[in-house]
Amino acid sequence: MAAVDLVLRAGRAVLPDGERPAAVLVAAGRIVDVLPVDAAVAAAAEVVLAGDEVLLPGLVDTHVHVNEPGRTEWEGFRTATRAAAAGGITTIVDMPLNSLPPTVSVPALAAKRAAARGRISVDVGFWGGAIPGNAAELAGLHAAGVLGFKAFLVDSGVPEFPPLDPAGLALALATLGPLDALLLVHAEDPAELAAAPAAAGRAYRDFLASRPPAAETAAIGTLLAAARAAGPAGPAPAGSAAPAGSADGGGSADGGGARVHVLHLSAAEGLPMLRAARAAGVRVTAETCPHYLTLAAEDIPDGATEYKCCPPVRGAANRDALWAGLAAGDLDCVVSDHSPCVPDLKRRDTGDFGAAWGGIASLQIALPVLWTEARRRGHTLADVVRWQASAPARLAGLVRKGRIAAGQDADFAVFAPDAPFAVDPARLAHRHPVTPYAGRPLTGTVRATYLHGQPIGDTPTGRLLTREEAAS
């Protein structure tokens, strides 16, 4: 065998066919082979993992608000990608809003890429935005390489990214369907929110009542109906994760019609709707987030606005139902929805949930947060890899990401799954370490992260991804 640049030998490696010992061979930034752990290999460098370490594929987080340019004081590419790398995440996809300008035109995408260039420690792709009045921009953004498009059905919280009404949603789907482009949707219904009690004050129960499950289910119903009306459905949801227990995702993107994805689902009442729609051939996928799977409304103190996010963290019974939906394959992936802001906007001085910015910053600790609860519930590292690596990669069309296999990018996380630690905000690389997980005991630490076969260090070596590059 020709010499390779690197061989990583792991007594435990999570591979597409399960967990086993392996020697992973790397050349020119790609995996060239996966062999028995003790295979003789001529390599320029060799790394042998410690006995308590597991080799994982680099994780893929498809829901990250970097906020640069324009609101770089909230977060930026340098800090966000350093946090990602510290957490074993080697690819992020940046959301189109909270930056100024939002990514709703080709010039805005160019500004976003210029802001990121030379500052990223991991690979970065971009979602475009679908807002009222920019339907004519969508094809150009698609051609320029965005991985898909995001829309809101309710006020986004920033005026430059307004929501789509039903007619706007239909127009966006009619435009994106012929491109086979994915539309990701923040699914909450404005009428249901308007009918709910106003969010104000320190009591978490009052904030929770202001964003009821009916707001999510009504909006999911609107989205599914619009997807059905947009055209003939394909044979399976594009990019969807395989059923629980299988090693990789399934689905097809060849059937025509609209492809839609429900972002950050928090209300378990939406799960039967997704299941029925898929059975009827609607090409729909869905995600949830670590905070919905690990936190519970009953435990959130009044005034603790670091817990505020929209849709909200719900009760423990709802959390259990989300876990059941994840295990059954009703939910495809788990992503951070890293949505930080400057600390003042969290209004921790008053503890007013109505006035505080909604968003949880957890990029660096998304893996141990999820793994700590997953292992307690009997899930395996292979499950976590499916939810946080292979399924998100498939969702975004990142065909070289999320798996340890020949031909894939040589992106890895070296993870010690039994190592305990407590979350210390001072050790987080996010620009502002405001987190509901402060002091929380977790299990599992990331000891090293590799990008394209090289350990990630202080020098930014990440690449900007386009759809064409990601699919080649």
Q: For the chain, what is the HEC assignment?
A: CCCEEEEEEEEEEEECCEEEEEEEEEECCEEEEEECCCCCCCEEEEEECCCCCEEEECEEEEEECCCCCCCCCCCCHHHHHHHHHHCCEEEEEECCCCCCCCCCCHHHHHHHHHHHCCCCCCEEEECEECCCCCHHHHHHHHHHCCCCEEEECCCCCCCCCCCCCHHHHHHHHHHHHHHCCEEEEECCCHHHHHHCCCCCCCCHHHHHHHCCHHHHHHHHHHHHHHHHHCCCCCCCCCCCCCCCCCCCCCCCCCCCCCEEEECCCCCHHHHHHHHHHHHCCCEEEEEECHHHHHCCHHHCCCCCHHHCCCCCCCCHHHHHHHHHHHHHCCCCEECCCECCCCHHHHCCCCCCCCCCCCCECCHHHHHHHHHHHHHHCCCCHHHHHHHHHHHHHHHCCCCCCCCCCCCCECCEEEEEEEEEEECCHHHCCCCCCCCCCCCCEEEEEEEEEEECCEECCCCCCCCECCHHHHHC
Share of the chain above pLDDT 90, in %: 91
Residue 109 lies in a domain: yes
The model's confidence at residue 231, banded by pLDDT at 50, 70 and 90, is low
pLDDT tens, residue by residue, 312-342: 999 999 999 999 999 999 999 999 999 999 9
Contact in structure between 245 and 327 (CB atoms under 8 Å): no
Tell me the residue range of the domain where 313 lies: 58-400+419-439+456-471
Contact in structure between 230 and 174 (CB atoms under 8 Å): yes
Position 246 pLDDT exceeds 90: no
pLDDT tens, residue by residue, 283-319: 999 999 999 999 999 999 999 999 999 999 999 999 9
Least confident of 153-162, 177-186, 229-238, 361-370: 229-238
Burial level of 162, CB count in 10 A (0-12/13-18/19+)? middle
Q: What is the pLDDT of residue 250?
A: 35
pLDDT tens, residue by residue, 142-176: 999 999 999 999 999 999 999 999 999 999 999 99
Quote the number of domains for the chain. Answer: 1
The tokens 């080649």 sit on which residue? 472
Residue 243 lies in a domain: yes
Q: What is the pLDDT of residue 220?
A: 98
Q: What is the pLDDT of residue 237?
A: 38
* pTM across the whole model: 0.94
Residue 215 lies in a domain: yes
Tokens of 395: 């969702």
Beta bridge partners of 34: 24
Position 448 pLDDT exceeds 60: yes
Position 234 pLDDT exceeds 60: no
Residue 291 lies in a domain: yes
218-233: average pLDDT: 89
Least confident of 87-96, 196-205, 233-242, 401-410: 233-242
Q: What is the pLDDT of residue 376?
A: 97
d(CA 451, CA 80): 16
d(CA 193, CA 335): 25
**The domain spanning residue 141 has which CATH number?**
3.20.20.140
Contact in structure between 105 and 141 (CB atoms under 8 Å): yes
Mean pLDDT across the chain, nearest whole number? 93
Residue 90 lies in a domain: yes
Q: What is the pLDDT of residue 180?
A: 94
Residue 14 lies in a domain: no
Find how far residue 43's CA is from the centre of its chain: 34
Task: Give the residue with greater pLDDT, 241 vs 223.
Answer: 223
Residue 97 lies in a domain: yes
Residue 37 lies in a domain: no
Q: What is the pLDDT of residue 238?
A: 40
